[in-house]
């Protein structure tokens, strides 16, 4: 089954000012057991750091010391090491294995430090994830196997956030911008949580559908809820809450667009394989394992 050919039910949105969060439900199959990144990190079975052979901007080394595969999704942040980065793709790291994961730098002015770092428990905001996705998809659809984003475009996105929120980040770090607006973000999403059976979330900001994240099971959605909604909320900070949230049909139309998108399948960084897609106004990436779409991320153009 194509990861873009899914039966999805869209629930009524949770609206917080200019931010609307639509719960997504489905009855599709689930993959074999794995641990979401936040759960594995809390258990101490996930290690992220520079490559053993030496630091390189576009790669980080991820080790899973546990007994189950670990899921890490695109946009997850790594803080420390020689510079802060975000993951370009979703990866399922096999138990007892180490993989090199393609990343993008979100701290332009620093190169140096310790080989170790930490999974920050935060996500890159949706507009930055969208820029990264477009670069990766363009490369993959053009025949590249590197899964590299357009680093210059990613740095431009970080600067745009800094300028928009008037934050001086000495090393150009996205984390500084997120920290500066943390209070407003937390206020916007306080008290929210994933619903029972919810497998994904579609997001509208300022009256327009911008992003979708969909998982194969509700436990994964619950594990990623806090970091995802805080990232979505950053794009809504400072906007007027007067915009009317789009109808649920607008979310379904994004899925329909994917059915006619141009796609290419490549081997996954760890387990499974990736499907990258571009269509009219959308860019998407999916990780499929054992014939199940474990994670699908969709970004809609402005």
Query: Which DSSP state fits 206?
Result: T
Number of Cβ atoms within 10 Å of the Cβ of 107: 22
Residue 1 located in a structural domain: no
pLDDT of residue 241: 87
Could you tell me what percent of the chain has a pLDDT over 70? 97
What dihedral angle (degrees, nearest 10) is formed by the CA atoms of 283, 150, 35, 80?
-150
pLDDT of residue 118: 61
Quickly state the pLDDT bin for 5 (edges 50, 70, 90).
confident
pLDDT of residue 126: 94
Residue 4 located in a structural domain: no
* Total structural domains within the chain: 1
Query: Distance (Å, rounded) from C-alpha 81 to C-alpha 87?
Result: 14
Residue 3 located in a structural domain: no
Could you tell me what percent of the chain has a pLDDT over 90? 85
Taking residues 88-116, report their average pLDDT: 93
Taking residues 118-129, report their average pLDDT: 84
Q: What length does the chain have? A: 302
Q: For the chain, report the end-to-end CA distance as a whole number of angstroms.
A: 29
Which is it for strands 70-72 and 35-36: parallel, antiparallel or unpaired? parallel
Taking residues 58-84, report their average pLDDT: 94
Q: Which of 252, 249, 250, 258 is nearest to 280 (CA)?
A: 258
Q: Show the domain range for 161.
A: 9-300
Rg (CA), the chain: 18
pLDDT of residue 24: 98
Residue 2 located in a structural domain: no
**pTM reported for the whole predicted model:** 0.95
Per-residue pLDDT at 120 exceeds 80: no
pLDDT of residue 207: 95
Quickly state the pLDDT bin for 92 (edges 50, 70, 90).
very high
Per-residue pLDDT at 155 exceeds 80: yes
Look over the chain and give the mean of its residue pLDDT values, rounded to a whole number. 93
Query: Distance (Å, rounded) from C-alpha 124 to C-alpha 191?
Result: 21
pLDDT digit string (tens) for 263-276? 999 999 999 999 99
């Amino acid at each position: 089954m194509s990861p873009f050919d899914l039966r999805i039910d869209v629930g009524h949105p949770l609206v917080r000012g200019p931010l609307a969060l639509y719960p997504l439900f489905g009855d599709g199959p689930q993959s074999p057991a794995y641990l979401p990144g936040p759960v594995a990190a809390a258990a101490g079975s996930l290690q992220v750091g520079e490559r053993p052979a030496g630091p390189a901007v576009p790669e980080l080394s991820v080790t899973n010391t546990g007994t189950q595969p670990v899921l890490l999704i695109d946009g997850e942040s790594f803080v420390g090491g020689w510079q802060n980065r975000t993951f370009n793709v979703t990866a399922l790291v096999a138990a007892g294995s180490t993989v090199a994961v393609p990343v993008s730098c979100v701290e332009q002015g620093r190169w140096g430090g310790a080989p170790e770092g930490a999974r920050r428990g935060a996500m890159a905001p949706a507009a930055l994830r969208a820029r990264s996705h477009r670069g990766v998809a363009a490369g993959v659809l053009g025949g590249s196997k590197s899964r590299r984003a357009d680093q210059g475009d990613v740095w431009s996105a970080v600067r745009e956030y800094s300028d928009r929120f008037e934050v001086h980040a000495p090393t150009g770090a996205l984390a500084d911008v997120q920290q500066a607006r943390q209070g407003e973000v937390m206020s916007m999403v306080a008290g929210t949580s994933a619903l029972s059976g919810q497998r994904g979330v579609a997001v509208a900001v300022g009256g327009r559908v911008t992003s979708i994240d969909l998982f194969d099971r509700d436990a994964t959605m619950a594990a990623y809820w806090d970091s995802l909604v805080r990232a979505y909320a950053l794009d809504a900070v400072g906007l007027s809450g007067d915009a009317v949230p789009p109808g649920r049909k607008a979310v379904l139309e994004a899925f329909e667009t994917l059915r006619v998108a141009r796609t290419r399948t490549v081997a996954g960084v760890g387990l499974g394989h990736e499907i990258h897609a571009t269509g009219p106004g959308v860019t998407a990436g999916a990780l499929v394992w054992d014939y199940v779409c474990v994670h699908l991320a969709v970004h809609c153009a402005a």
